[in-house]
């Protein structure tokens, strides 16, 4: 699956248009709130807390790399920490430019295969297991978030929509874990999906395709993936460490968003902050726009209004958050992806 690179290249205009739509939504929200009001709030940003925001984001990424390295060492031999850090940054670029953050895990597996010789399905199992650990604190806190939101004084449709969204995400998470633990179930699901789309695939390719051959390959990859996934989750030491690291990362991330508000001289109540930020992260998983730009901001503005935080402060805090967690990470990740893309092309040309 070489081809988060190729996917981005192939769908570059769709990606550009999705970013344009996102920035239009941001502009519309800013216009309604008052651009001058937002700028006035940003002018009073505490630079020391702004720097702390970047430091906290860096700590999260370092912990993320360490967790992934722990998991990969169970199923294969992990490369050096520095190498994995750069690969992770490249994968974050893939996540940030694709709707629903869908491009990062395949890109990690591809880089491991091309540069370190790790089989794709093993690399994908490690990156998927890594994401599963990331979801543990999210699912637990999401349950409390759904309960709290049902008690808030907001319109019924919003409460039901957010709560249903949370429960759907939790169900999806449970299905993912179950499929990873039960290779027979995973095989049936994937083969059934492949069988249903196979007639359409044959219409768009000139190369003759044999469904039996494709099915056998899928079974092979699912078996390898399931084995790696199980190894990563069944190792008690890695499971406990991964669990602790994941909650640590979550706590730092929540503290970081609090620092974004504090940098503007605003100090929202902690429990509503945790709940609203959880919902905002959930919205970011929707495969609509890259990074859920605009949609996430609109959600935060609407929910923070319930606890009395002005809209201009919320949007200004979101901008500070995005500078560290999105723009900077995406830029560094793009440099990492370009570096590895050039390295892989050079290696292939030399081997030919």
pLDDT digits 0-9 by tens, 279-337: 777 766 655 555 566 677 877 887 888 788 898 999 999 999 988 988 899 899 989 98
pLDDT of residue 291: 55
Residue 219: pLDDT over 60: yes
Residue 101: pLDDT over 80: no
Q: If pLDDT is split at 50, 70 and 90, which confidence band does 239 have?
A: confident
> pLDDT for 116-175, tens place per residue?
888 887 887 788 778 777 777 777 777 777 777 767 666 676 667 667 767 776 676 666
Alpha-carbon distance of 300 to 310, in angstroms, equals 11
Sign (positive or negative) of CA dihedral 197, 199, 203, 208:
positive
Alpha-carbon distance of 313 to 196, in angstroms, equals 49
* Higher-confidence position of 346 and 261: 261
- Provide the Cα torsion 290, 292, 298, 304; round to 10°: -140
pTM above threshold 0.75: yes
Q: If pLDDT is split at 50, 70 and 90, which confidence band does 235 have?
A: confident
**Token digits for 307?**
């606890």
Candidates 260, 218, 347; CA nearest to 54 is: 260
Q: How many domains does the chain have?
A: 1
| Domain extent at residue 136 | 4-351
> Of 93-97, 231-235, 302-306, which range is least confident?
231-235
Q: If pLDDT is split at 50, 70 and 90, which confidence band does 3 have?
A: very low
Share of the chain above pLDDT 70, in %: 66
Alpha-carbon distance of 72 to 70, in angstroms, equals 6
- Identify whether the C-beta of residue 89 lies closer than 8 Å to the C-beta of residue 329: yes
- Identify whether the C-beta of residue 333 lies closer than 8 Å to the C-beta of residue 89: yes
């Amino acid at each position: 699956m070489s081809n988060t690179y190729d996917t981005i290249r192939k769908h570059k205009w769709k990606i550009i248009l999705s970013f344009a739509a996102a920035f239009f939504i941001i502009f519309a929200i800013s216009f309604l709130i008052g651009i001058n009001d937002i700028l006035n709030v940003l002018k009073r940003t505490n630079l020391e807390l702004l720097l702390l925001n970047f430091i906290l984001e860096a700590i999260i990424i370092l912990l993320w790399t360490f967790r992934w390295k722990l998991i990969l060492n169970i199923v294969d031999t992990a490369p050096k920490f520095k190498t994995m850090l750069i690969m992770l940054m490249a994968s974050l670029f893939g996540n940030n430019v694709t709707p629903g953050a869908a491009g990062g895990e395949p890109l990690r597996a591809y880089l491991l295969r091309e540069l370190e010789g790790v089989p794709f399905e093993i690399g994908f199992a490690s990156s998927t297991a890594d994401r599963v650990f990331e979801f543990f604190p999210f699912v637990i806190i999401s349950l409390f978030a759904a309960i709290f939101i049902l008690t808030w004084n907001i319109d019924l449709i919003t409460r039901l929509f957010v709560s249903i969204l949370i429960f759907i995400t939790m169900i999806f998470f449970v299905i993912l874990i179950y499929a990873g633990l039960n290779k027979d179930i995973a095989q049936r699901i994937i083969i059934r999906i492949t069988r249903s789309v196979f007639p359409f695939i044959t219409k768009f390719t000139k190369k003759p395709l044999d469904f039996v051959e494709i099915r056998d390959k899928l079974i092979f990859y699912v078996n390898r993936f399931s084995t790696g996934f199980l190894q990563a989750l069944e190792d008690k030491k890695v499971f406990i460490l991964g669990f602790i690291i994941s909650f640590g990362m979550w706590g730092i991330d929540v503290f970081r968003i609090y620092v974004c508000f504090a940098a503007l001289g605003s100090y929202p109540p902690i429990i509503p902050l945790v709940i609203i930020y959880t919902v905002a992260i959930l919205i970011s998983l929707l495969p609509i726009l890259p990074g859920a730009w605009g949609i996430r901001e609109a959600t935060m503005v609407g929910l923070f209004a319930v606890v009395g935080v002005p809209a201009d402060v919320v949007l200004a805090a979101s901008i500070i958050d995005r500078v560290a967690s999105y723009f900077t990470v995406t830029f560094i990740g793009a440099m990492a992806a370009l570096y590895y893309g050039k390295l892989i092309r050079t290696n292939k040309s030399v081997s030919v």
